[in-house]
């Protein structure tokens, strides 16, 4: 009987969910040891698991990496490309979950649910009108990044009766919603939500200058990558009143180091889980397993962030898969 192909999980990957997509000729190893690394021909990689040259050297037979999600901050794509290993991603499968998460943060802040909850709990009913309750209806929402998630955010925003502006230097934005610069978004929006990858060009795109450009009392939401926001600048904006609230699902470092921004009463925090709803998680794992299966069968995954000679040219190479 021929020896089975080894595919490993780097980070928690549910065996029962992915093995059905990988087929009977594949043995999926949830908790791999050194021997499994040495034999592995495929790896399904969770967020925050680092895959650099040392890790790649420990997997000399590796043919494909499938990242659950679209961020590859912790995967050395150049090192993988040098070894002719495609790095597949799973764009689109959690777009609705992340978009809903952005709106959960918005509603929490606009409707002041945290302070109002405390008023009820503490018996301060007579103080209830001292806490501002805002509206999404009629507000202007600025979307930075108009990929899969940005487009879904737009659809939800319009259902709330919001005016939508969107900026993306690559994606096609409807003329009625198009902003020509990020500054145009910042100046015009009551709420700004970020949906772009973390690149050198986007790191700290929201810095002290950007905060000063925003409307007084604007709300800033980030369910994308933590490095997009200078957290010191965001804190200064809250303390000065320039910002009316900050919602974060991602952080400068993860797990985050203590920062006074996280203690401010006008922040809403979640531990980078808005894209991990039950439905989205299942779809993400299945998509990653299918990407591995495709390469092992000599086919191409639906989306990769690099181009290698080993496989056929991928259907998507780093475009249109932002968030």
Classify residue 107 as exposed, middle or buried by CB count within 10 Å of its CB (0-12, 13-18, 19+). Answer: middle
Residue 241: DSSP 8-state? T
E strand map for the chain: 5-10, 26-29, 42-45, 64-67, 87-88, 140-144, 163-167, 191-194, 218-222, 243-248, 267-269
**Pair 248, 222: CB distance under 8 Å:** yes
Residue with tokens 């967020």: 47
Catalytic residue among 67, 151, 195, 272: 272
**Tokens of residue 71, six digits:** 């961020």
CB atoms within 10 A of CB 188: 17
Both tokens of 181, joined, read 């610069």
Phi, psi (5° rounding) for residue 98?
-65, -40
Q: Which of 254, 264, 266, 290 is catalytic?
A: 254
The catalytic position among 105, 151, 225, 300 is 225
Closest of 61, 49, 53 to residue 13, by C-alpha:
49
> How is residue 298 written in tokens?
């000599």
Q: Which residues make Cβ contacts (< 8 Å) with residue 217, sequence separation at least 6?
A: 190, 241, 242, 243, 244
Residue 239 annotated among the catalytic residues of the structure: no
272 is catalytic: yes
130-143 burial, b at 16+ Cβ within 10 Å, e below that, comes to eeeebebeebbbbb
Which residues are designated catalytic? Answer: 225, 254, 272
């Amino acid at each position: 009987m021929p020896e089975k192909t080894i595919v490993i999980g780097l980070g928690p990957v549910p065996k029962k969910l992915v093995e059905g997509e990988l087929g009977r000729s594949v043995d999926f190893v949830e908790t791999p040891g050194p021997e499994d690394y040495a034999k592995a021909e495929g790896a399904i990689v969770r967020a925050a698991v680092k895959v650099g040259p040392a890790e790649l050297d420990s997997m000399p037979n590796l043919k494909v990496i499938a990242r659950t999600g679209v961020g590859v901050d912790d995967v050395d794509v150049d090192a993988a490309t040098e070894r002719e290993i495609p790095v597949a991603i799973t764009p689109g499968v959690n777009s609705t979950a992340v978009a809903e998460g952005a709106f959960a943060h918005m509603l929490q802040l606009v409707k002041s649910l945290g302070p109002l909850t405390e008023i009820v709990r503490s018996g301060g009913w007579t103080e209830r009108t001292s806490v501002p309750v805002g509206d999404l209806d009629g507000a202007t929402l600025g979307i930075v990044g108009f990929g899969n998630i940005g487009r879904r955010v737009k659809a939800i925003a319009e259902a709330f009766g919001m005016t939508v502006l969107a900026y993306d230097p690559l994606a096609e934005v409807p003329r009625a919603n198009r902003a020509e610069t990020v500054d145009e978004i910042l100046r015009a929006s009551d709420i700004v939500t970020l949906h772009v990858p973390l690149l050198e060009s986007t790191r700290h795109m929201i810095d002290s200058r950007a905060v000063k450009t925003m409307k007084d009392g604007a709300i800033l939401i980030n369910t994308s990558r933590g490095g997009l926001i200078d957290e010191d600048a965001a804190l200064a904006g809250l303390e000065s009143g320039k910002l009316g609230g900050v919602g974060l699902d991602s952080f400068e470092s993860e797990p985050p180091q203590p920062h006074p921004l996280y203690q401010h009463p006008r922040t809403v925090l979640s531990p980078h889980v808005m894209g991990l709803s039950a439905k989205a998680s299942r779809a993400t794992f299945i998509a990653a397993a299918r990407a591995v299966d495709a390469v092992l069968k000599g086919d191409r995954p639906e989306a990769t962030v690099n181009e290698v000679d080993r496989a056929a040219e991928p259907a998507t190479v780093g475009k249109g898969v932002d968030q």
